[in-house]
C-alpha cells in the first residue's frame, strides 16, 4: 500500500515517547533495543506498543513484555515467570528477578533464546484451550484435561 503514489506506508510507526527513550540509551543498549523492537513488531503485527512504568511495553491481549534500561544493562520484564525457565537453564550467569532478566552491556546477548522467550510469553494460549481446565497462573492444562488430550479422546460431560 502506498501513501500518495510513491511513498510506501510504514507497517508500524514508533511513537515519539518510545523513540526518545531508545535514542537516549548508550550504543550497545540502543542497538539491542532496536533489534528487539523491530523483531517484535515484525513477528507480531497485531501487537500494541505503549509506555508502561517509564519503559517501552508490548501487549497482545493479556500477555505483555517490557524492555527497560538499567545502569549498565538491558532488562526484559515478562508477564509470567514461567517463560524465564529455559533462558535461566542455558545462561545461569545472567541476572534474574522474579519476572525479568537483566543482560549486562558487556555480556553476550543471547538473541535467539530471548526471541524464543518473548514468543512464548506473547503467544495467546487461551484461544486453543477454550473450555479446558487451564491454570490462570501457569497457563498449563489441568491433569485430567491433559490426559484426555494425550489419549486423543474427549472427556464425557
- Residue 39 belongs to a domain: yes
- Residue 4 belongs to a domain: no
Domains of the chain: total:
1
pTM of the model: 0.68
- Residue 9 belongs to a domain: no
Tell me the backbone φ, ψ of residue 155, rounded to 5 degrees.
-75, 145
99-140 pLDDT tens trace: 888 889 998 888 998 998 899 888 855 344 444 455 555 555
- Residue 17 belongs to a domain: no
Q: State the Rg of the chain over Cα.
A: 19
User: Using CA atoms, how far apart are residues 56 and 67, in angstroms rounded to an integer?
Assistant: 6
Q: Check which CATH number belongs to the domain holding 62 and give it.
A: 3.90.1150.200
- Residue 104 belongs to a domain: yes
- Residue 144 belongs to a domain: no
17-68 pLDDT tens trace: 999 999 999 988 999 999 999 999 999 988 999 999 999 999 988 899 999 9
User: Using CA atoms, how far apart are residues 144 and 147, in angstroms rounded to an integer?
Assistant: 5
Domain housing 85: 27-124
Amino acid at each position: 500500500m502506498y501513501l500518495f503514489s510513491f511513498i510506501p506506508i510504514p507497517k508500524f510507526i514508533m511513537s515519539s515517547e518510545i523513540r526518545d527513550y531508545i535514542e537516549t540509551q548508550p550504543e550497545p543498549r540502543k542497538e539491542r533495543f532496536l533489534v528487539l523492537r523491530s523483531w517484535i513488531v515484525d513477528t507480531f503485527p497485531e501487537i500494541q506498543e505503549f509506555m508502561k512504568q517509564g519503559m517501552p511495553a508490548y501487549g497482545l491481549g493479556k500477555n505483555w513484555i517490557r524492555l527497560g534500561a538499567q545502569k549498565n544493562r538491558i532488562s526484559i520484564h515478562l508477564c509470567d515467570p514461567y517463560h524465564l525457565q529455559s533462558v535461566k537453564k542455558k545462561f545461569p550467569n545472567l541476572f534474574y528477578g522474579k519476572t525479568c532478566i537483566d543482560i549486562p552491556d558487556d555480556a553476550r546477548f543471547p538473541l535467539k533464546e530471548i526471541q524464543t522467550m518473548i514468543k512464548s510469553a506473547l503467544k495467546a494460549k487461551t484461544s486453543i484451550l477454550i473450555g479446558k481446565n487451564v491454570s490462570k497462573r501457569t497457563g498449563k492444562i489441568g491433569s485430567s484435561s491433559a490426559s484426555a488430550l494425550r489419549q486423543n479422546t474427549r472427556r464425557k460431560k
